[in-house]
Amino acid sequence: MLTLRNEYACFDGTVGFYSHTSQLCHSKMNFSVYIPPQAKAGPVPVLYFLSGLTCTEENFTTKAGAQRYAAQRGIMLVAPDTSPRNTGISGENETWDVGSGAGFYVDATTDPWRKHYQMYSYVTEELPRLIQANFPVNDRASLCGHSMGGHGALVCGLRHRDRYRSISAIAPIAAPMQCPWGQKAFGLYLGEYEADWRAYDASEVVRMQQHDYPILIDQGESDSFLAQGQLLPEVFEAACQEANQPLTLRRHTGYDHSYYFIATVIGDHIHHHGDALYR
């Protein structure tokens, strides 16, 4: 059962914030939905936006300015929270890059995480079923994400080519097996065997699961996490070239990792997905 927490008028549509009890994550999960004005006349396609470390369902919804473009293109926007919360797991709230706000869009296989941290299946299975059952959407869907969520969008989209019409990412963690954030999270959620990590690394998955349409990635060149070796877009770019996966990787001078960058490029991403969703 869905609980509507708040609702607001926005560009002739509505933004709603919802909660429900997740059967996969065994906890309350939150998400936001922007319903564009075109949904009054019939079902519309949906774009799922996956947010980054420390974010909730509110960051993208309130900061990115995406609703203006979604209203123009007739696209519903859905933004889930980035992890289960308040599960009682020891250490869940001790660090910002593992636990609360840091689900990494994987299905955890180790204790104590595996009972609740099933974000991959939540995003690709449970949440879409919930949206289909309760909102005016058709069967066309796409994925976008930022940072940790960019990693999630790439992996989920590549592994489910039959479900998503298009994929894009903004400053994604593009090769998590090779960066400190990914190594820490994967080690804790998935265990010590790196062979088990490959299914959640876009730079590995793309060699086996290419997408039919071009992937769009935007990366700011003044992003401190780029300089720290956390994002590694060049690794994903090389993997796409090897796999013959079409990729548009745009590098932007002067832009960082913040929502100022997301707000700058989000219109291009909405139009990228709109072209695919209405093709």
Residue range 40-71, pLDDT digits in tens: 999 999 999 999 999 999 999 999 999 999 99
Catalytic pick from 83, 116, 223, 272?
223
Is residue 162 annotated as part of the catalytic site, yes or no? Answer: no
CA distances from 137 to 36, 118, 131 (A): 11, 24, 8
How far does CA 188 lie from the centroid of its chain?
Answer: 20
Domain parsing of the chain, residue ranges? 3-274
Looking at residue 212, its pLDDT comes to 85
Looking at residue 59, its pLDDT comes to 98
Please provide the average confidence, as pLDDT, over all residues in the chain.
97
> Taking 90 as the threshold, does the pLDDT of residue 209 lie above it?
no
> Taking 90 as the threshold, does the pLDDT of residue 187 lie above it?
yes
Catalytic pick from 151, 257, 269, 273?
257
With pLDDT > 70 as the criterion, what percentage of the chain qualifies? 100
Looking at residue 230, its pLDDT comes to 98
Give every CB contact of residue 146 below 8 A, 6+ residues apart in sequence: 49, 50, 51, 52, 60, 169, 170, 171, 172, 262
Residue range 77-107, pLDDT digits in tens: 999 999 999 999 998 999 999 999 999 999 9
With pLDDT > 90 as the criterion, what percentage of the chain qualifies? 97
Is residue 256 annotated as part of the catalytic site, yes or no? Answer: no
In contact, 26 and 19? CB cutoff 8 Å: no
The pLDDT confidence band at residue 211, using thresholds 50, 70 and 90, is confident
Beta strands in the chain (DSSP E): 3-10, 13-22, 27-35, 44-50, 76-80, 137-146, 167-170, 215-220, 247-252
Looking at residue 210, its pLDDT comes to 82
DSSP 155: H
Q: What is the pTM of this model?
A: 0.98
In contact, 22 and 86? CB cutoff 8 Å: no
Give every CB contact of residue 35 below 8 A, 6+ residues apart in sequence: 13, 14, 16, 76, 135, 136
In contact, 242 and 40? CB cutoff 8 Å: no
In contact, 50 and 153? CB cutoff 8 Å: yes
The alpha carbon dihedral of 97, 101, 104, 106 has a sign of positive
Residue range 240-275, pLDDT digits in tens: 999 999 999 999 999 999 999 999 999 999 999 999
Looking at residue 188, its pLDDT comes to 97
> Taking 90 as the threshold, does the pLDDT of residue 1 lie above it?
no
Looking at residue 102, its pLDDT comes to 98
Is residue 257 annotated as part of the catalytic site, yes or no? Answer: yes
Cα angle, residue 97 at apex, residues 93 and 103 outer, rounded to 5° = 80
Catalytic pick from 142, 147, 168, 203?
147
Closest CA relative to residue 48, chosen from 154, 200, 176, 189: 154
CATH 3.40.47.10 for the 3-274 domain, yes or no = no
Residue range 104-123, pLDDT digits in tens: 999 999 999 999 999 999 99
